[in-house]
Structure 1
Amino acid sequence: MFSALLIEKGETGQTVSLTRLDEADLPDGDVGIEVEYSTLNYKDGLAITGASPVVRSFPMVPGIDLAGVVTDSAHADWHKGDRVVLNGWGVGENHWGGLAQRARLDGDWLVPLPPAFTARQAMAIGTAGYTASLCVGALLEHGVRPEQGEILVTGATGGVGGVAIALLTKAGFTVAAATGNASQAEYLQQLGAVSVLDRAEFSEPGRPLQKERWAGVIDSVGSHTLANACAQTRYGGTVAACGLAQGMDFPASVAPFILRGVSLLGIDSVRAPRTVRTTAWDRLARDLDVDALEAIAQEVGLSEAIAAAGRLMEGEVRGRVVVDVNR
């Protein structure tokens, strides 16, 4: 038997509870895992609170991330005792996820836990930090360099934003952080942001072309924020879009793309192949200061995760929430 969060749906709607399950209840998969840590992402908050119908089948164990140890494997790449990380692949949506002490998964979804990180540190990074690494990699691969100018990071106090700032600073970039919480300015500066901007500058409708400010942008917000960021990007600059905290819409014009040669790159973290994932985790292991993780992360036990998900959806959480599934 093991402990897990379980989302169920009945005639009166969705419920979520901390419960005990049997390993025989686990879904199909060729790798069994003893989970050490998971985390709470925005998508987990949506799933647990029921704020959006991200869960595709019921009952469901939420948690799109996990780090742990292989207990048994029928997959050629993994053996008992291997330390692994899982991000995405629909886990926590249509396949039982990481907010439990046990998991059974498809071995093709896993990557090795980098030796530089403990399981807790890997979950302080989680999908948010892994996505930030994908974004930084995309900017670099598209030719963005520190000497070309500032990089704007929107949603800066979120998990993607915090890790993106730290990675960009390590790579030599000058970073401007946009946030709706002015009280977090010192925290963002500790991560490496040179300037902290009010998100209100970006969150309302703006002109199709605005003053050129940014050599590159990492945006986890979408909607008007993404549109304004594109409108302010310098000639030949690059915008990496990976989130929709403000909305799924993109109320923009083609002007930045056809008059300034701006590139808009879509960043998918859910179905990225293992080679791409491994490269992103290698960058994190090489360039992310583990001390920065302590500033970014806070820890809760599995029994506290439901309440923490509610706070996350209310915008009351800074950085990353690590979940110790064994307490």
Structure 2
Amino acid sequence: MSFLACRVFKDPEIHHELVEMETQQLSEGDTLIQVDYSSINYKDALAASGRGAILKSFPLNAGIDLAGKVVETTGPGLKEGDDVIVNGCGLGESFDGGLAQFARVDSQYVMKQPKQYSGRDAMIIGTAGFTAALAIYRMEVNGQTPDKGPIVVTGASGGVGSFAVNLLSKKGYETIAVTSQSSMHDYLKDLGATEIKNLSDFELSDKPLSKGVYGGLIDNIGGETLSKLMANIDLWGNIACIGLAQSPKLEATVLPLILRGVSLLGVSSTNCPMPLREQLWHQFGADNPLPDFGKILSKEISLKDVSPYFEELIDNKHHGRLIVNCQ
């Protein structure tokens, strides 16, 4: 069976091509999935453009998210026709990913799609929404509560940031959404942001410990911003470290950690244990409300049109979520 895929090659430079391939060319696995929807994440853009060392082997189909239907499987608990989700777990990094019309995956990484939303909704959430939920989960397990003060969200107009602002507001937190683009202010307010700031609005200093004015931080950019904001987190606040859009470097002191009890929490959605992964995916619409799908900025494109969007995403020319209709 032939199908279309966004395949990444290294010969010798890393580049991607839209190719026709056969299902027998896919990575090994016990479950074949017809992919209905995928998405483009920052990591996908790095992988497909060659601007990041993401893929573990070549050639490989890009795409760390997918939602679709099981075509055939020998995996336990799955049957033909099941609506399923795969996000992270090595998809689009160690084995062929979701930016294709078919994917073959080990059943241990496959999760049945929660009934409260569609496959398209699942990809609006995707790795971005899942990562935001995981960050909030880690903070709350470590004692974060709304009464500790406002949560700063950097990179707020991106996919993770948009979901973080929306989910935090639904949980009763004050949120300070950080964006460099004034055109995003109304969007972020609509998602539930209490206040919107540019990085230049923060009085950040080089002091290792400044006045504790924020209850916590969800950081998508790393670098100098993360280093300096650490000094402003109040007693027993938590920092969820997610991204490196500014820089992977962290040049800070331990003083906020040892004098205020601030915790720096790493958030890795790729290798989140499956029981916790299922818990977080199923929380939407259960104990916690569904995200505001109609408010999350999203654009749907076809699989054959993905190429221009990789560079756009890296160059911060696109906001919210990019949903890929693979059929």
Question: TM-score normalised to the size of structure 2?
Answer: 0.95
Q: Which amino acid aligns with 2:326?
A: V
Q: How does 1:1-327 map to 2 (within 5 A)?
A: 1-11=2-12, 13-201=13-201, 206-286=206-286, 287-326=288-327
Aligned length: 325
Partner-residue secondary structure (3-state), 2:207: coil
Deviation sequence 1:202-253 (CA, Å, 0-9, x none) = 6987321122111121111111121122111001111111111111111100
Deviation sequence 1:16-73 (CA, Å, 0-9, x none) = 1111111111110011101000000000000111112212211110000001111111
Q: How far apart are residue 291 of structure 1 and its match? A: 3.8
Q: Which amino acid aligns with 1:132?
A: A
* Closer, same or farther: CA 128–112 of 1 in aligned 2, 3 Å: same
* Closer, same or farther: CA 316–259 of 1 in aligned 2, 3 Å: same
Indicate the larger mover: 93-102 or 291-300. 291-300
**1:210 and 1:46 mapped to 2: Cα distance?**
35
Runs of 4+ off more than 4 Å: 201-205
**2:105 and 2:201 mapped to 1: Cα distance?**
43
**1:313 and 1:293 mapped to 2: Cα distance?**
25
Provide the alpha-carbon RMSD of the alignment.
1.6
**1:250 and 1:63 mapped to 2: Cα distance?**
28
**2:201 and 2:50 mapped to 1: Cα distance?**
31
Q: Is the Cα contact below 8 Å between 1:191 and 1:292 reproduced in 2?
A: no
Partner-residue secondary structure (3-state), 2:271: coil
Identity %: 37
Partner-residue secondary structure (3-state), 1:285: coil
Deviation sequence 1:232-286 (CA, Å, 0-9, x none) = 1001111111111111111100010011111111111111111110111122334
Structure 1 residue ranges without an equivalent (≥5)? none
Q: How far apart are residue 9 of structure 1 and its match? A: 1.8
**1:285 and 1:247 mapped to 2: Cα distance?**
35
Q: Which amino acid aligns with 2:233?
A: T
Deviation sequence 1:269-326 (CA, Å, 0-9, x none) = 1111111101111223343545435532111111111111111111001111000011
**2:295 and 2:98 mapped to 1: Cα distance?**
21
Q: Is the Cα contact below 8 Å between 2:39 and 2:63 reproduced in 1?
A: yes
**1:201 and 1:106 mapped to 2: Cα distance?**
48
